[in-house]
A and B are shown apart, each in its own frame.
Chain A
């Protein structure tokens, strides 16, 4: 299994809603990542988990809350988002942070109204 899966594919939420994005991989990778991507821009790193521990938080607002329940799963909890948070949210995984051949999921297209 060489896939990273993400759900949902599309999400529309209001500014007062709470929602979660989910990511799963079964490649035995021990590093997992959340990226945010705006149209016509490269992915921007948000969070890095290494061996289920948060190792990098790129000064992301607290309305984004990551969680890594186990080595295969990565969640991103969303609360009180702003319209400017609308973007494609990408999950990726790699064998380790030091072996950084990252495989991306298909993304969740988030629209905040």
Chain B
């Protein structure tokens, strides 16, 4: 099956710093999604990417769909305390009748005020 490697596993940053996390796969994906999950809550969709090379922003968040279709990154600029949470990447390969999402293991972000 497809596997996603998400890094880093965790990070501690100062408020105001920029953050970068990424996901890589051994297989190609047609769609990349980035989610944020707060403790005890469901994941919230942050950004969806559909085309290789696509760069999309949502406020202070920017995500890119890698040219090889095997990777994606998420950047957060000027971090604030409410950015704390677990960030998951998820990829979908629409081939051979399979449409399920494959999730990365998550990046736990801590922001020090």
Residues of A within 8 A of B (CB): 4, 6, 40-43, 45, 48, 56, 88, 90, 92, 97-98, 100-107, 109
Contacts and interface: CB of A to CB of B under 8 A. Distances in A.
B100 A101 contact: no
Nearest to B99: A97
B104 interface: yes
Contacts, number: 52
Contact of A104 (B43, B100, B105, B106): B43
11 contacts: A4-B42, A42-B104, A42-B106, A45-B101, A100-B92, A101-B31, A101-B45, A102-B90, A103-B45, A104-B45, A107-B41
A97 B31 CA distance: 12
Interface of B: 31, 33, 35, 40-45, 48, 88, 90, 92, 94, 99-101, 103-106
A6 B43 CA distance: 13
A51 to B, nearest CB: 13
